[in-house]
Amino acid sequence: MEKERFQVEHPINSSKGVLFNMFSTPSGLAEWFCDDVNIKKDVHIFLWDGSEESARLVTKKRDEFVKFRWTEDEEEGLSTFFEFRIKIDDLTGDTAIVVTDFAEKDEIDDAKELWSAQIDRLKQVIGA
């Protein structure tokens, strides 16, 4: 089944450096995104309540974004990914997190809700 791209954007009161650390390091990711992270070469193994999902780190740019691809999607030949991007408004200087992800059409609303819950958890962790 074809997956569709969607984005979730949330304003956040935090510095680029803090956010990038939360997106790009195992300790940062384990504080809000999953229970734990193990890394083997460029593959991050995310652990949640006994289940695990693997994602390859595709690319990252310091203080701007981190992009991953689920290995399962990669094996199926899908060009999907999920990305955490830090967006700074040129006029106001306000910071936002933009999450880009892919889901099947009938699962997009649920996926957006899940990401919003994850970002709320991130805000709690960093006190934003």
Give DSSP secondary structure letters for 24-50. Answer: HSHHHHHHHT-SEEEEETTEEEEEETT
Which pLDDT belongs to residue 128?
Answer: 82
Which pLDDT belongs to residue 50?
Answer: 87
- What superfamily does domain 3-126 belong to in CATH? START domain (3.30.530.20)
Does residue 1 have a pLDDT over 80?
no
pTM: 0.93
Residue 93 burial (10 A CB sphere; 0-12, 13-18, 19+): exposed
2 confidence band (pLDDT: 50, 70, 90): confident
